[in-house]
Structure formats: structure tokens, C-alpha cells
Structure 1
Amino acid sequence: MLIYKQQTAQNIIEIGKRLIKVKESLPHGEWGTYLKEKVVFSRQSANRFMQVAREFSNCSALSNLQPTKIFALLDVPSEEREDFISQSHEINGQTKTVDEMTSRELQKAIKEKKQLEEQVRIQKESKYYNKTIMSYLRSFKLRL
């Protein structure tokens, strides 16, 4: 079973690579027709396969992951992805690795990561604006 699981990740990458080659070889405007008639993929599905091929072709950590997890990991920035996969995450009060999580738990962990990053960004901006305003007020007070 593990061999088939590993092959699934490899097959997703290979399908993506082949889709990239075909898309590059087709005349402009023929991609949608090709997808509909030859491979029965939506554009969105084809784009996800191609994105996996581009971003995961050298990632050995995918070999044990289900396709839904592989596609979910596309939402983690590529420069952070390997660390994210190798680390444990707290999900519903339990510490789990990406491999141990369900697909829903992984999606939740990714969403929580993004929310935390957004909160940090907002706090940094808020501190910057507060300093700027205080500096402006001080300079204004000095002029009076």
C-alpha cells in the first residue's frame, strides 16, 4: 500500500510535468479544447497539477501524503513549505505532523498559520503608524 501511496505523489507531479509540456506545445487558444477532449480536466485542476509539478518536483516529503494534502500545501508559500511539513502543529489540542493530520486538519492548520501571519503584519503596521503619528505630534508641538 505504501508503494502505491508514494506513486500517487509521483504521478501527480508527472501529470503536471506532462501538462506543462503539452500546454507549451499547443497553439494559442487550444489549451481549453485539449483539456476538455483529451484529458477531461478543468482548467483549475490542470493548473493545480502543473503548480505541484513546478513547486514540488524536488520535495521528498510528499511521498506519504494524500493528493488532497499535496494540493492543500500549495497554499503555504514555497519558501516556508518544507519547514511547515517537517514541523508538528497543534490541531484541536493535539500535536500532529502533516502526515498524521486529516486533510481538514491540514487545511485548518494552514488557515490558522495565515491568520496568525496577518495578525502579526497588522500589529507591525499599527506600531509603525503609531510611531509616525507620535513623531508628527511631537514635531507639531515643538513648532507651537
Structure 2
Amino acid sequence: MIDELTTGRTPVVIASEINTMKRQMEKILLVHAIEIGRRLKEVRAMIPYGEWGDWLKVSVNYSQRTAQRLMALFDAYGEYLSLPPAGESSQNRAMLQGGEGLQTKEGRTLPNLTFVQALTLLELPEEERVEFLMEMDVEGMSTRQLKQAVEQRQEARREADQAVTERDQARQESTTLRDDLDKEKNKNARLAAERDGLKAAIHGLERVKGELEQEIENKKASYDKLKERSGYKTIKKMEVSLNEAYGKAEANKIAFLYDSLFKTFKELAYEMTKFAGKNQELHAIYKEKIHDFLHNALREKL
């Protein structure tokens, strides 16, 4: 106890030294991980396509997943943490390793991160990651607490994105419904106009129908009056006389045609008799033709 008081080396002091060394070691681990990521990105640009996985396995004994995580660390934190150039003073190197906080582009100081914390925070986008570091006591969190906080942040972001999506969808549906409503209103207005037009057309047709019916009635009345006049009876008598005269003329015409046919047939019979003695074979042909002609004529024409 006396030795501790004399030298000032108490358990509290030693614990403080140990914790300081732990922070320095964790920061150095993160810085070296970032530098490895920088070099992996550099060499990947040199490796031919398709040979990256083999090179990692043979040259540095890394899987592609491990290499991808290290390069992601460089992309996320490379501008904040890195090894000083080879010619930089050892004092500056000591400052880097002494627990200084991260500096953003805007000059804000961010808390120190361990390698595991830095990997965990890669789950967040860059802008949200900086906000998270400014808002949360990351240095005072355990790894489990940090993972839980990151998951809650991600869930909140998903819910916010879902809310935005639902809002946009609701707006779109509202716009669609409004457009449909406007279309329906226009359709109803058009149908109403067509209905009114049809009503007007029907009214016009009914008016024309009434006028035509009245005109028919008037003409019928005029016709009835005409029939009652004496002149109408005279006209009817004249029609009867004309019909009788036409009938007599038709009868005379038939009588004339009959006489002509009789004379012609009689003359034909005489000639056929004379011709029979000259050419019986040809006479038989003509006789058959005459017979067929008379038979068909009597059957079809009379």
C-alpha cells in the first residue's frame, strides 16, 4: 500500500492505462483494416477479370466476403481515418493512435469507433450513419446494444419508406379516382345531353305523326265528298263502258287469230299430204315435229 502511494500506481490508474491502450489498439485495428481495404481496392483494379477470388485466396488468404467488408470499411471511413504518410512525424502518428475522434467534412467531431462498431454501422447509409454517430453514445454501447440500435434505426427507416410509399400510392389512387370521377361526370353529362336530344326528336316525330294523321283524315274526307258527287258516278259508268269495249276488242282479236291459225293449219295439212308421196322419211320427221309442237303448245300456252 505504501509502495502504491509512493509511486502513484493504483489499481484505478492501471485500469485507466489499460482502457487507454485498449482504445488505442481498437483504433489501430480499425485504421489498419481501412488501409487493407484501400490496398485491396487498388490491387483489384490490377487483377484480370475472373481471377480476383483466386488471388485473394493464394496471396492474402482472404475470402471475397472478407475482402468486400474491408473495402466497404475503406469506402465508409477512409476519408476520416488512415495511416499518416511515411514522412509524417511520430508525434502526429501518436496523435492518430491516441483516441482522437473522427472529423466529418463539415468539421464535426464524431466518437471513436472500434473495428466491430465500424462494421456494424456499415448497415446504415452514409448520411444516416453520421447522424446516428452524432445522436447516439456509441462509445458507451456494447456490441449487442449497438446492433440493436442499428436494427431499430433500419426498421424505422423501412417504416418511413413504407409510409412514403403508401402515401404516394394513396395520392396516385386519389388522382386515379378523381380522374375516374371526372370521366364519369363527363359521361353522365354526355348521356344527359343525348337523352334530351332523343326526347326532342321523339317530340318532333310525334308532332309530324299527328300532322300526317290529320292530313290523311282530311284527304279521306275529301275523297268521301268526291264519291258523293254526281260526277264520280258518271266516271264509274264510263269505266264500265270502256272495260266492256276493251273486252269486245280482245274477243275480236282472238277470233281473228283463230281464223288465221285454222287457215294456216289447213294449208299445212294439205302440203304435208302432197309431201308424203315425195319423201316419206322426211315427211315422218316433220309430222313428228308438228305433232310435238301442237301437243306442247296446247299444254303450256292455253
The correspondence for 1:114, drawn from 154, 157, 164, is: 154
Shift of residue 135, structure 1, vs aligned partner: 4.1
Q: Report what 2:263 is aligned to.
A: none
* CA distance in 2: counterparts of 1:4 and 1:127, whole angstroms: 48
Matches within 5 A, 1:87-106: 87-88=135-136, 97-106=137-146
Structure 2 contact 56–64 (Cα < 8 Å) conserved = yes
* CA distance in 1: counterparts of 2:173 and 2:43, whole angstroms: 55
Q: Report what 1:58 is aligned to.
A: 79
The correspondence for 1:83, drawn from 118, 126, 131, is: 131
SS at match of 2:45: helix
Q: Report what 1:94 is aligned to.
A: none
* CA distance in 1: counterparts of 2:30 and 2:169, whole angstroms: 46
SS at match of 1:64: coil
* CA distance in 1: counterparts of 2:163 and 2:48, whole angstroms: 48
Gaps of 5+ in 2: 1-20, 81-101, 104-109, 189-302
- TM-score under structure 2 normalisation? 0.41
Name segments (4+ residues, structure 1) moved above 6 Å: none
1:73-130 deviation per Cα after TM superposition (whole angstroms, max 9, x unaligned): 1111012222211212xxxxxxxx1121122221211111111111122222223333
Structure 2 contact 40–67 (Cα < 8 Å) conserved = yes
* CA distance in 2: counterparts of 1:23 and 1:138, whole angstroms: 55
Provide closer, same or farther for how the CA distance between residues 136 and 66 of structure 1 changes in structure 2, counting only shifts above 3 A.
same
- TM-score under structure 1 normalisation? 0.81
1:34-54 deviation per Cα after TM superposition (whole angstroms, max 9, x unaligned): 211121111000011011112
> Percent identity, aligned pairs only?
27
The correspondence for 1:26, drawn from 26, 47, 56, is: 47
Shift of residue 55, structure 1, vs aligned partner: 1.9
Number of equivalent positions: 136
Q: Report what 2:58 is aligned to.
A: 37
**The structure with more radius of gyration:** 2
Shift of residue 71, structure 1, vs aligned partner: 1.0
Where relative contact order (Cα < 8 A, 6+ residues apart) is larger, the structure is 1
Shift of residue 138, structure 1, vs aligned partner: 4.2
Q: Report what 1:93 is aligned to.
A: none
RMSD between superposed Cα atoms in Å:
2.1
